[in-house]
Amino acid sequence: MSGLYIHIPFCKRKCRYCDFVSFPDFASEDIYFVALIAEMRKYAPLMRGRGFGTVFIGGGTPTCLKPGRIAAMLDEARKCFDIAPDAEITSEANPESASEEKLAELFEAGVNRLSIGLQSANDLELARIGRIHSRADFERALAFARRAGFTNINADVMHGLPGQTCESYLNTLRFVTELDIPHISSYALILEEGTPLYGAVKEGREELPDPDETADMEDAGFAFLAENGYGRYEISNFAKPSFECRHNLNYWDNGEYLGIGLNSHSALRLKGEWTRFCNTAVLSEYVSELGEGKLPVRDTRRIERDEEMFESIMLGLRKTEGISRADFEARFGVDPVTHYAPAVSELELDGRLIVTEERMYLTGAGLDFQNEALIKFMES
């Protein structure tokens, strides 16, 4: 089954660390959706015979759109694509715009998983990274979500934020676990070039915790989540049993997905060839090309088998259960353990990788240095 990603590039205000394609240009909302629907229709014949097991509406902030927008969009998606009746349909939401009506509408429209951007339960930390909601806004949004019928809920949190301490990060996690949210994504803040936060840090106007403090937060926080019944199933993702995100698991299994919307990415096997491409990141190009009946595709790349194999390693080793040797062999005709023998034996020897009859996966120490492990695979 394939995944379907739909990008909503609108936000009330851009967060200081964010480098996604999003902007507060609501004047373009109508025209954007005309184009988005045109894009889905354009893909419809190409996707015939392909089943979609998951849909992910990401952003941006999908909850800041006009009423009825998401429902109309999902209706159209169902017309264009073969979306399984039991599909996992996720929408991202931000606390400040996740009103009672909005969340009810999403649920009505068939969204059955909600991913709420909390980032921190400390209002001062939130302000410093330019979030426009409070801890209380999140609590309210969560109550609305549950009232609307959502049970499959994720909270995004971050560590390594300006002003954050180990204690305050643990308070955030405690807050989320006590609210009994079944899925938590906890990412370390990455300072992306070109963001306001990046500029502030470079100019010394803002300071991040040093890498050791961030590592301490991570160790303490992840231990806390484990104690509270959240399984780490991917480097940064934790879930109560059976609440793992199927859409993301498809990415990490190096599965096929179609991206719709501005700057969305796709990976599809086309005429037998593994192919990656993305859409333009420029709104005017996106709109005008679809207006002319063209797909606004950029950077189409046919991926060679060796690279496809490495992608499977790179993505698969993000998961704590790692890679299924049989699945890998079924896809590529080789056992990853023999194909990458030098890297595998070196990492095994260092206690970073475990190989069983069925699988190979990184240990905790291996996940701490995943990049280094991957470079060994690249070189072997």
Partner 1 sequence: MAFPKELIRNFCIIAHIDHGKSTLADRLMQLTQTVAERDMEEQLLDSMDIERERGITIKSTAVRMFYTARDGKEYMLNLIDTPGHVDFTYEVSRALAACEGAVLVVDATQGIEAQTLANVYLALDNDLEIIPVINKIDLVSADPENAIHEIEDIIGLPAEDAPKISAKTGLNVEEVLERIVTDIPAPKGDSEAPLKALIFDSLYDNYMGALSYVRVMEGTVRPGDRIRFMHSGSEFDVTEVGVFNPSRLPVRELTAGEVGYISASIKSVAETKVGDTITLANNPAKEPLHGYKQANPMVFCGIYPADGADYEALKEALDKLILNDASISYEPETSQALGYGFRCGFLGLLHMEIAEERLEREFDLDLVTTAPSVIYRVVMLDGSVRMIDNPSNLPSPMEIQRMEEPMVMAHIMTPPEFVGSIMELCQEKRGFFLDMTYLEENRVKLSYRMPLNEIIFDFFDGLKSRSRGYASFDYELGEYEQSDLVKLDFLLNGDMCDALSTIVHRDKAYAKGRAVAEKLQEVIPRQQFEIPIQAAIGGKIIARETVRAVRKDVLAKCYGGDITRKKKLLEKQKEGKKRMRQVGTVSVPSDAFMSVLRIN
Q: Which positions touch partner 1 (CB under 8 A)? A: 3, 5, 7, 20, 56, 58, 187-188, 190, 211-212, 215, 218, 235-236, 251-252, 257, 259, 264-267, 276, 278, 299, 311, 314-315, 318, 368-372, 374-375, 378-379
Strands 152-159 and 353-355, sheet pairing: unpaired
- How far apart CA 32 and CA 34 sit, in angstroms, is 5
User: To the nearest whole angstrom, how small is the minimum distance from the Cβ of residue 178 to partner 1?
Assistant: 26
User: 95 is written with which tokens?
Assistant: 């606390």
User: To the nearest whole angstrom, how small is the minimum distance from the Cβ of residue 300 to partner 1?
Assistant: 12
User: To the nearest whole angstrom, how small is the minimum distance from the Cβ of residue 292 to partner 1?
Assistant: 25
3-state SS of 173-241 is: HHHHHHCCCCEEEEEECCCCCCCHHHHHHHCCCCCCCCHHHHHHHHHHHHHHHHHCCCEEEECCEEECC
- DSSP one-letter code for 90: E
User: 162 is written with which tokens?
Assistant: 């300006």
Which C-beta is closer to partner 1: that of 213 or that of 327? 213
**Radius of gyration over alpha carbons of the chain, in Å?**
21
Which C-beta is closer to partner 1: that of 211 or that of 241? 211
Which C-beta is closer to partner 1: that of 51 or that of 241? 51
Task: Report the SS3 class of residue 250.
Answer: helix
Which residue has tokens 């002003």? 163
User: To the nearest whole angstrom, how small is the minimum distance from the Cβ of residue 7 to partner 1?
Assistant: 7
- How far apart CA 222 and CA 237 sit, in angstroms, is 10
- How far apart CA 269 and CA 284 sit, in angstroms, is 29
User: To the nearest whole angstrom, how small is the minimum distance from the Cβ of residue 149 to partner 1?
Assistant: 26
- How far apart CA 278 and CA 65 sit, in angstroms, is 24
Which C-beta is closer to partner 1: that of 131 or that of 376? 376
Among 114, 118, 9, CA closest to 55: 114
Which helix (H) or strand (E) segment holds residue 302: the answer is strand 297-302
User: To the nearest whole angstrom, how small is the minimum distance from the Cβ of residue 189 to partner 1?
Assistant: 10
User: To the nearest whole angstrom, how small is the minimum distance from the Cβ of residue 348 to partner 1?
Assistant: 17
Torsion of CA 94, 30, 17, 205, to 10 degrees: -110
Which C-beta is closer to partner 1: that of 346 or that of 368? 368
- How far apart CA 304 and CA 44 sit, in angstroms, is 27
User: To the nearest whole angstrom, how small is the minimum distance from the Cβ of residue 190 to partner 1?
Assistant: 7
Which C-beta is closer to partner 1: that of 142 or that of 185? 185
User: 298 is written with which tokens?
Assistant: 């950029």
Which residue has tokens 């995100």? 245
Which C-beta is closer to partner 1: that of 12 or that of 276? 276
Q: Which residue type is seen at 3?
A: G
Which C-beta is closer to partner 1: that of 132 or that of 215? 215
Which C-beta is closer to partner 1: that of 73 or that of 148? 73
User: 167 is written with which tokens?
Assistant: 């204690």
Q: Are 73 and 22 in contact (CB under 8 A)?
A: no
Which C-beta is closer to partner 1: that of 95 or that of 259? 259
- How far apart CA 173 and CA 218 sit, in angstroms, is 11
- Beta carbons within 10 angstroms of residue 379's beta carbon: 9
